[in-house]
Structure 1
Amino acid sequence: MPNVSTRHFQLPPWQQGAAQSWFEREEGTARKPRAASSVLLLRDSRQGAEVFLRYRRGESPLGKIAFPGGSLEEADGDPVDWYGPTPAEWARTLGMDDAQEARRHVVAAARELFEETGVLLAGPDGSTLLESNRGPEWMAARVGIAAGDESFPELLARRGLGLRSDLLRPLTHWLTADFALRRFDTRYFAAVQPLGQETSLLESKGIWGQWRAAAVEMERAATTELGDEVGQPDTVGLTLEQLTVPAVALMIEKLAKARGCIAYLAHRRANEVFQPELVEADGGYALRVTAVDAAEGSGHRGR
């Protein structure tokens, strides 16, 4: 039997108003969540497993500090050369009935990873991967995709590349808490940084993004060091819990305990939906999460 424990996470400052309104109107109707994909980009280092973290403007359901990710787009369903597990196999892995919806989540994960970091999980065949993502032409492609001037499938077709879905690993499935003004239904994936490809921020949109050793971030999680280093008005003075959402904090925690990327990816995970629950605590509000060792630090079981 997996060990189960209940934990409370600090509510981020930008969610305080929505939490108060939720209780003042005696809860209410939750907004419909948008389907999203997010990717833990990983690599090994002398300090242990590292993950790429980035700052997000506004009130993202993924957190101020989060992994690359975002909403699914209509073009994610467009035709694309495909290598690796089929959409039907992905649907079974993700516990979904709709193979095309599973396919869109996988495409969105690869698209968001490319747009936000430059890492492209694609190649001309099922055994070859793009060797270099350097150069102004690749940045221009990322800018074009972000602006909607070109779709991700169009880029792959133009470059004679197919999506290497075998380079993504499914992690966990989270719903944003009911009270939030913006909600995501997020599928989290993981990918190891490909040899020869480097990370970079998107021109004109990227503010902060860095590789961080998970063990180091957990050691200083109760401090404001990370938020102060990011240096934005809405990050300075905040702890890791206040900068992100429970799903992200728990995945960083799990990664910190793993003996490298391979061990982390080999960890057994429950195929369930998890969701934090808003509760009143210590005269304020907190997010209650049920942590399950066999899952990815999982939360309150949702619908």
Structure 2
Amino acid sequence: MPNSSSTPAGVRPAGKRYFPLNADQRGAAETWVEFGDRTPSKPRKASSVVLLKDSPAGLKTYLTYRPGGSPLGTVAFPGGTIEVADDDVTDWVGPSPTAWAKSMGTDDIGLAKRHVVAAIREVFEETGILLAGSDASGVVEGISGPEWMRARESIAAQETTFASLLERYGLALRTDLLKPLSHWTSPDFAHRRFDTRYFAATPPVNQTPSLLTSKGVWGRWVCAADVLADRATSALGDEIGLPNTAGLALGELVVPSVEIILEKIAAARGCIAYLNHKRPINEYQPKLVVGDDGGFSLEVATAPASEGGPCRER
């Protein structure tokens, strides 16, 4: 069974791709196969944001370590689940919820709104990047101090809501600064499953990512091409240096969605080209494959290049 780690950056085989399972997934896969196919658990709705910036070495993105066996991966883009309080956010500028639903390929306008709110809230909680302003042309500045860190901690602990923070500072979501990317659902056998919408954004001027004081372990800007060039090695896992990352290759640290998005980023000519690229919102769900030797892998049916693959973004 071929492994995605053998694929050079920017190269997209047609048809299907195969990815390794991480340690948490292997246990769930063994149980699923041993006891026969069962009804999969209901996935939780989630949003994840691919932060981007240009560099001389190529397009960079912000990756973070996620503890606790997150369905988004051990290393992933900032993100998390939709919360009930996300419905309380009403002030925003940019595309309307109806327009967002259309661009995301769903008829559920309320769900599209929740995904957008969750995306902006999660990236604020985890990195301090806030896609909000007082009007359609402004973006909030000076949000790196202790007051804003306390606000992030309070929202993350659900002691206060994102809506109340926006109201306090007279801010509206700048939904025009966010772009939809793709739609991924966790494999059926997983114990914890996400139905995740991926978005992309560039940090506003004068905003710099920082980890949440109480939860942040590791996070930094990485050059997508460099990460992919080293994906057969344990360079990234060793840099993080935790027991569940050291000695592991990229495919054992990230879920297939992250690896495929990294490939597209590496193939893009820059932020403007990547964000302005017209792409359909392809839907993906990795499927468990059992090899002749009894080993497991994840199979992902890939979209053809004409539907938004890296070769279109060059």
TM-score bracket for this pair, using the shorter chain length: over 0.9
The answer to whether the 8 Å contact 1:133/1:198 transfers is no
Contact 1:254 1:296 in 2 (8 A): no
1:289 maps onto 2:300 in alignment = yes
1:269, 1:294 within 8 Å by CA — same for their partners in 2?
Answer: no
Distance in 1, Cα, partners of 2:210 & 2:281: 32
Give yes or no for contact 1:80–1:156 (8 Å, CA) kept in 2.
no
For residue 222 of structure 2, give the secondary structure of its aligned residue in structure 1: strand
Report deviation, 1:81: 1.1
Q: Does 1:31 align with 2:60?
A: no
Distance 1:276 1:294, change over 3 A: farther
Map Cα deviations across residues 134-169 of structure 1 (whole Å, 9 max, x no partner): 111110100010111110111000011110000000
CA contact (8 A) 2:180 2:281 kept: no
CA distance in 1, matches of 2:13, 2:25: 30
Q: Counterpart in 2 of 1:176?
A: 186
Q: Aligned equivalents of 1:294 and 1:108: distance in 2? A: 30
Offset from partner CA, 1:247-296 (integer Å, 9 cap, x none): 01100011011111112223332333210010012431000112223456
Partner AA of 2:99 in structure 1? E
Note the alpha carbon deviations across 1:15-53, whole angstroms, 9 max, x for none: 111001111122211110000000001101111110000
Q: Aligned partners of 2:256, 2:278: CA distance in 1, in Å? A: 19
Verify the 8 A CA contact 1:53 1:212 in the aligned structure 2: yes
Name the residue aligned to 1:42: 52
Aligned to 2:92: 82
Q: Provide the residue aligned with 1:107 in structure 2.
A: 117
The partner residue of 1:253 within 263, 267, 276 is 263
Q: In 2, distance between residues paired with 1:213 and 1:242?
A: 19
Equivalent runs, 1:131-210 vs 2, <5 Å: 131-210=141-220
For 1:265 and 1:287, the matched residues in 2 are separated by 28
Contact 2:93 2:174 in 1 (8 A): yes
SS at match of 2:248: coil
| Distance verdict in 2 for CA 1:231–1:200, change over 3 Å | same
Task: Find the aligned partners of 1:18 and 1:63 in 2 and give their Cα distance.
Answer: 15
Displacement of 1:79 in angstroms is 3.7
Q: Are the structure 2 counterparts of residues 5 and 268 from structure 1 closer, same or farther at C-alpha, using a change threshold of 3 Å?
A: farther
Q: Tell me, in whole angstroms, the C-alpha distance in 1 between the residues paired with 2:13 and 2:247.
A: 33
Aligned to 2:139: 129
Distance 2:181 2:45 in 1: 16
C-alpha separation in 1, matches of 2:227 and 2:283: 26
8 A contact 1:35–1:71 mirrored in 2: yes
Higher strand share: 1
Between the aligned partners of 2:197 and 2:132, the Cα distance in structure 1 is 20
Is 1:171–1:296's contact at 8 Å kept on the other side of the alignment?
no
1:301 alignment counterpart: none
- CA–CA distance in structure 2, aligned partners of residues 132 and 213 of structure 1: 26
Segments of structure 2 that go 5 or more residues without pairing to the other structure are 1-11
Runs of 4+ aligned residues of structure 1 deviating over 3 Å after TM superposition are: 294-298
Q: CA deviation at 1:297?
A: 6.3
Q: Secondary structure at the match of 1:172?
A: strand
For residues 296 and 33 of structure 1, do their structure 2 counterparts lie closer, same or farther at Cα, with a shift above 3 Å needed?
A: farther
* Cα shift at 1:7: 1.3
Partner Cα separation in structure 2 for residue 76 and residue 295 of structure 1: 32
- Please say if residues 7 and 288 of structure 1, whose CA atoms lie closer than 8 Å, have aligned partners that are also in contact: yes
Q: Are the structure 2 counterparts of residues 136 and 296 from structure 1 closer, same or farther at C-alpha, using a change threshold of 3 Å?
A: farther
1:220 to 230, 240, 244: 230
1:211 aligns to 2:209 (yes or no): no
TM-score of the aligned structures, taking structure 2 as reference length = 0.91
Q: Structure 2: how far apart are the matches of 1:192 and 1:155?
A: 22
For 1:174 and 1:297, locate their aligned partners in 2 and report how far apart those are by CA, in whole Å: 16
CA RMSD of aligned residues (A): 1.5
The number of equivalent residue pairs is 297
